[in-house]
Amino acid sequence: MSFKLRLGVWLILLIGLTACSSSPKREPAPLLPVADALGLGLGWQNTVSSRVEFPLQLSVADKSLVAASSTGTVVVMNAATGADMWRARVDTDLSSGVGFDGKTAVVTTIDNELVAFMIGSKNQPVIAWRKVLQARVYTAPLVAGGRVFVLAGDRTVQAFDAVTGSKLWSLQRTSEPLILSQAGTLGVYKNTLLVGNSGRLLGVNPDNGQLQWELSVATSRATNDIERLIDLVGIPNRVGDSVCLRSFQTSVACVDVAKGLVMWTKQTQGATGVSGDAAMVASTESDGRIKAWNRATGEQLWVNEKLTYRGLSAPLVVGNSVIVGDSEGYVHVLNKASGEFTARFKTDGGAIVAAPVVVGNTVVVATHRGGIFAFSPR
């Protein structure tokens, strides 16, 4: 595809998505009173910078938590106290991040650079290496096994040595003519790299980039390129051999990667990743509904419709709770069994911009204004 043609394709996609987003704005559902039955409170808070306007992924390794801002600040924090362990900066805005394994933190920039931070000889963070990429990246790099895996917007997958930055391999598969400008699917199953490519889940050998298998997870019956767009988005939710996934505005599905089988698929419209445990999987929908399914069978367990049009984040299933954030900076806690509210917390008023994460018994969220908030038992 020529540069002019590819540029035209990207513009068509952006125009199409803008048109979809320009529909009349719905009034968000009013918040009903919730009695805090969990005994949780604000454990600590920190700030990365003034804004987060890219698809941030909060990453946890050992007892460290890493976050970043759009303006290039990268912060590694003590997950127990929220105190800075180190703080560094790239000289341009970010397009994705953060990949982290406890030693190396990796981001990508709007200039299509892959940038890796490490602790230098003076115990200060330094840019260990940086590489120019051929396409914009919206998915946080994955750092694992001494390598950095990158899923570009055109769904090319590349691997780099985490220490030196040397390129190890590249894999490019045929994908849809239109591409989403949001985080795709990149994860790990045992010694296999899981990669989303259009409506397919690919199993890739992380050592050499060879395709090992692929599963068709989602299909479209639409008649034009924009409506036909199918892409897997968000971090794959894995429990044992079961991996559950979101296909953008199309479906949620769970697959058995050991057997190479799609266990179930449910048509549902949403744009965020899913979360779950051995018993269930939960999703947030574009209209603000929260849905829960039996992980093994796909039977719908419950639907919560009390947060409609509140711009929900991806969910987090942890313990007996399902946790989601909204566009006004509220964090909502639901009972996993019933879907009823059990607690609610207020942050700085900025939209919750990343899927909540858990570190020990602490839940951490990030806001559009750059705030990092941790909630834990009082």
Domains of the chain: 31-54+280-292+301-378 (2.40.128.630)
Q: What percent of the chain has pLDDT over 90?
A: 78
Mean pLDDT, the chain, whole residue set: 89
> Minimal CA–CA distance to 138: which of 167, 110, 177, 117?
110
pTM for this structure? 0.90
Could you read off the pLDDT of 215-224 as tens digits, one per residue? Answer: 999 887 666 6
Could you read off the pLDDT of 137-186 as tens digits, one per residue? Answer: 999 999 999 999 999 988 899 999 999 999 999 999 876 666 778 899 99
119: exposed, middle or buried (Cβ count in 10 Å: 0-12, 13-18, 19+) = middle
How much is the pLDDT for 371?
A: 97
Could you tell me which residue, 179 or 348, shows the higher pLDDT?
348
